Amino acid sequence: MSFEQGELNDADASPVEEHLRECPDCAAALDEIRHTDPDTQMLRLVFQKADTDVLRVALAEVSHAGAKPQGARAAIPGDEAPQPASSGDGGGPTAPASATWNIPDYERIALCGEGSYGSVWAVRDRVGVYRALKAIDLDRLERAKIKCYELSALETYCRKVTRHPYLITVYHVGEAGRCLYYTMELADDQRQHGAVGDPFPADYRPMTLATLIRGGRLRVDIAVEIARRLLGGLAKLHELNLIHRDIKPSNIIFVNRYPKLADIGILTAEEGWGKPIGTPNYMPPDRAKDKTADIFAIGTVLREMIEGSRTGSGDPAAYESAKWDPDRVRAVIARPRRAGG
C-alpha cells in the first residue's frame, strides 16, 4: 500500500512498477485492491455521474478549418490565468498548433488544448506509450516581453517531487529549436472513463474536474473525497516548500480515475514567490503569497463542486481574508457526516 499511496521514492517504486508490468497476477491483485477499497469505490461514482451528465455537454466535434480544435474546452469566464502558456484554457493566437512539428521522438496524435503561447498534445513516444506533451513557443513569449515561468517551475518540480498518486508526473523536459516542451501523464478519456490505449480514440477529450463540474453539482461525499485526495497531493508539495499557485478545476485531471494536480507552469518555491500570480477567481482576496493561497484555492474548488456554480466569480468580500490553517481544513474534510446532515 505504500506504493499505492505514493509513499515510496523513485528507487523503491521503480522495481515495483517493473514487476507489475511483468506479473499479471500481481497487477490483477493491485487492480482488485483499487476496486474494493472504499475510497476508490467512492471515486468511481464520479464516473457514473459522467455517464449521465458530463458527456451531454461534451464539446461538439468540429472539422472545418478555423474552428475550436477537437479536445479544447470552452472558455469559462474568470478562468483565464495571467501566465504565458495555458494547458487548454483557450484564448489567444493559434500559431503553436499550426506550426511545423519539430519535436523528436514524439508523434503528435491529437490536440488537447492551446493558449496564446503554447499548446498541449496527446503524443506517442518511440515505444508506443501515450503521453501529454506541452509545447511552449519561446519566440512568441520573447516578442510579447513575457517571462517564461515554465522552465524554472519544471526545474524545481522535477528535482524535488517524486511519484505521488495525486500529483502529475513529468517524464521528460527538452528544447527543440525555440520550443520548450515537456511530457507528462495523459489524462483519461472523457468517454472511455479510463486510460487511453490502442486504438487511440478518435474523439479523445481529456477528463478534468472542470468537465465534471460543468455537468452540474457533485454529491457532497464525492466532492469531499476528491478534495481529500487533492489535499494529499498538496500536502506533499507544501512539505517540499513548494506552492502550486494555479489550482482550479481545469488544472485537475483524472489519470486512471485518480484526481491529480496538474499544470505546474507557475509553481515555485515559497521563498521565491514575488508578486501574486495565478487565476484571479481562485486567489484569496488578500492576495496572500504563501501556502495558504493554495489552501484557499482548494476550498474554492470544493465549494464549486458542491454548489455546481462558479463560486470563484462571486464577491471577494464574501470571503474572510484570514489565513487558512491546512490542518483545520483537513480536519473539517475528515469529520464524519452527522446523521441526516
pLDDT digits (tens, 9 = 90+) for 230-267: 999 999 999 999 999 899 999 999 998 889 999 998 88
What pLDDT sits at residue 69? 33
Closest CA to 219 of 38, 37, 48: 48
What pLDDT sits at residue 266? 87
pTM: 0.70
Q: What is the CA radius of gyration of the chain?
A: 19
What pLDDT sits at residue 336? 58
Buried b (16+ CB within 10 A) or exposed e, 281-312: bbbbebebbebbbbbbbbbbbbbbbbeeebbb
What pLDDT sits at residue 329? 64
Strands of 170-176's sheet, edge to edge? 107-114, 118-124, 130-137, 179-184, 170-176
What pLDDT sits at residue 175? 93
Query: What are the chain's domains?
Result: 95-334 (1.10.510.10)
What residues of the chain score a pLDDT lower than 70? 1-14, 17, 21, 30-99, 271-276, 309-341
Per DSSP, 107 falls in state E
